[in-house]
Amino acid sequence: MPIVLAPARILKTKARRVGAEDRAKVAALVPHLFATMYHAPGIGLAAPQVGVGLAVTVIDLMPNEKPAPLVLINPKVVAASSELATREEGCLSLPGQYAEITRPAQVTVGYQDLEGEERRVEADGLLAACLQHEIDHLNGVLFIDHLSALKRNIILRRLAKERRQKETQPA
């Protein structure tokens, strides 16, 4: 699936909660999300990043180079530590752009699995940052929205310039 690039409107729009009537659509979508994420390559992808406005995200940190896929439907941070952690983040919708982002160091996320069962995951480190990043996508928030207006605008201008250069290059 093609990845939607910033500043596309869907990336700034809150995704709709998945209901029982959406289960078949989500079950069909999830393998495409994983395939797109792995091909990119990335470690997380939210449905809005492929133009689907549903609250679905997939994550795979590939611990020890082995797949460990995680599907989160209607995820929500239900607890977050007061301790903060800063790490470099990037985004498949802002290719080649990175920035230091500060977020809670540990989070507990409630979500539904593909069968609709309620689940929870407690995370710290990279998984905590990735969960928060992907949940942000479902709320219409990009990682650059955590930066100052100046830093955000620099990144968006750089991205637009790179896009223009690619468009004018001969095939």
Distance CA 46, CA 42 (A): 11
Confidence at 165, pLDDT banded by 50, 70, 90: confident
The per-residue pLDDT for range 47-74, each reduced to its tens digit, is 999 999 999 999 999 988 899 999 999 9
Mean pLDDT over 147-151 rounds to 95
Domain-wise residue ranges, the chain: 9-168
What pLDDT is attached to residue 146? 96
Q: Which of 21, 89, 134, 167 is catalytic?
A: 134
Dist. CA 150–CA 89, nearest whole Å: 17
Helix, strand, coil % in the chain, rounded to nearest 5: 40, 30, 30
Kindly state the tokens that stand for 90: 């990037």
Structure-block tokens of residue 25? 């659509």
Task: Check residue 47 and report its DSSP letter.
Answer: G
* CATH domain 9-168 topology: Peptide Deformylase (3.90.45)
Q: Which two tokens stand for residue 51?
A: 């133009």
Is 134 marked active-site? yes
Beta-strand relationship, 44-46 and 118-124 = unpaired
